[in-house]
């Protein structure tokens, strides 16, 4: 069997990741986002007409129809061209933001560059976010490589994903994180566009967020536990999954990570806060905004909707999420998304 080059290994891995998330149950098994334990206090006197509810927001200088981003998903292998083109087309028509998947493969060779660049072709006016992993950032001497990746998709912002759990469990992983914070500080200083730092489903603690803010990062995506378990994805890729299975439910639930980040805001720390990790409805989006988020993001449910129902199916799902968000806003007397921060919440402890 011919030896695979690093670029070919990355391409194969990206295809496996998408296939597994679409065909296998890779949700957390016991841990949840914590959002299901939170309820809004019903406001029977909202003093607001439904027609006065406006879900629009501005993100990265562009107006969106609701505070939602299709989170960083894919690119770098053949089928990703059609996936990213269709995702981008729906995001453009529905006026929501889009993040591409890790662009590591685009650093290794040019074979699948168009699987990334097609996003901006299909979505010329919405926010687009580039993406690279922490292990690659640790090796960067300057911002030139990240700038090339950002230019490939004509990005409005660039994301660095922190994924130590995945790198630890991935058969071909790179669990080399010494120097990541210094690399992030360099990118925050030298890139001409905003830098987003995110987890991929295990959450960001208050301590990590504080260190990122101190390094100059202004945009944080908590990407908490409770949705897709990337430990689970890697367990399904390993020949011996026993170690990976132990970590299937590892991570900080999304609601807990949001509360930690919001507490830092109350201390006067400034950031744009994105909530992802198990977001599956417009009501989830509303809860995240009430907990302090500026935006919400989701990946697997939206990719599944596209796969099962095409662009019309994805657009219909986004429409349902928007309708549910509007309903939660109306029933709490919230005319605009930021108003949800003043809505009353009740948290239940389930036995």
8 A C-beta contact, residue 70 and residue 96: yes
**CA 274, 253, 66 angle in degrees (round to 5)?**
30
28-347 has CATH 3.40.1450.10 classification: no
Rounded to two decimals, what is the model's pTM?
Answer: 0.94
Distance, CA of 205 to CA of 108 (rounded, Å): 32
Average pLDDT of the segment spanning 326-341:
98
List the end-to-end C-alpha distance of the chain, in Å, as a whole number.
54
Separation in Å, CA 220 to CA 213, 273, 295: 9, 5, 10
> Would you place residue 27 in the very low, low, confident or very high pLDDT band (cuts 50, 70, 90)?
very high
pLDDT of residue 74: 84
Mean pLDDT of the chain: 94
* Span 92-147, pLDDT tens digits: 999 999 999 999 999 999 989 999 999 999 999 999 999 999 999 999 999 999 99
Distance, CA of 72 to CA of 283 (rounded, Å): 21
Distance, CA of 324 to CA of 318 (rounded, Å): 10
pLDDT of residue 8: 58
Asked whether residue 42 carries a pLDDT value surpassing 60, the answer given is: yes
Query: Among 94, 101, 97, which Cα is nearest to 130's?
Result: 101
pLDDT of residue 176: 93
Asked whether residue 161 carries a pLDDT value surpassing 50, the answer given is: yes
pLDDT of residue 4: 46
pLDDT of residue 120: 97
For the chain, the C-alpha Rg in angstroms (whole number) is 19
């Amino acid at each position: 069997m011919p030896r695979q080059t690093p670029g070919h290994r990355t391409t194969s891995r990206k295809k496996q990741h998408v296939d597994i998330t679409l065909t296998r149950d890779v949700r957390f098994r016991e841990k949840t986002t914590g959002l299901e334990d939170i309820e809004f206090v019903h406001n029977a006197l909202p003093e607001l007409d439904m027609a006065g509810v406006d879900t629009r927001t501005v993100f990265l200088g562009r107006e969106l129809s609701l505070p939602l981003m299709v989170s960083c998903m894919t690119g770098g292998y053949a089928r990703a061209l059609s996936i990213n083109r269709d995702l981008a087309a729906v995001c453009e028509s529905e006026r929501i933001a889009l993040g591409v998947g890790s662009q590591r493969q685009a650093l290794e060779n040019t074979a699948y560059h168009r699987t990334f660049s097609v996003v901006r072709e299909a979505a010329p006016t919405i926010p687009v976010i580039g993406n690279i992993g922490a292990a690659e950032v640790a090796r960067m001497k300057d911002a030139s490589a990240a700038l090339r990746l950002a230019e490939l998709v004509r990005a409005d912002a660039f994301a660095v994903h922190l994924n130590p759990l995945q790198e630890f469990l991935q058969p071909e992983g790179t669990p080399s994180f010494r120097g990541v914070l210094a690399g992030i500080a360099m990118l925050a200083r030298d890139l001409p566009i905003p830098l987003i730092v995110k987890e991929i489903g295990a959450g960001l603690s208050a301590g990590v967020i504080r260190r990122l803010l101190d390094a100059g990062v202004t945009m944080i995506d908590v990407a908490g536990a409770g949705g897709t378990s990337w430990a689970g994805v890697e367990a399904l890729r390993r020949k011996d999954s026993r170690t990976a299975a132990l970590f299937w439910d590892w991570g900080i639930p999304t609601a807990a990570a949001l509360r930690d980040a919001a507490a830092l805001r109350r201390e006067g720390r400034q950031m744009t806060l994105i909530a992802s990790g198990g977001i599956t409805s417009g009501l989830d989006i509303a809860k995240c905004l009430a907990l302090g988020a500026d935006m919400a993001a989701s990946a697997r449910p939206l990719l599944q909707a596209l796969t099962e129902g095409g662009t019309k199916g994805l657009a219909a799902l986004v429409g349902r999420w928007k309708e549910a968000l509007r309903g939660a806003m109306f029933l709490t007397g919230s005319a605009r998304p930021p108003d949800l921060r003043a809505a009353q919440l009740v948290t239940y402890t389930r036995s």
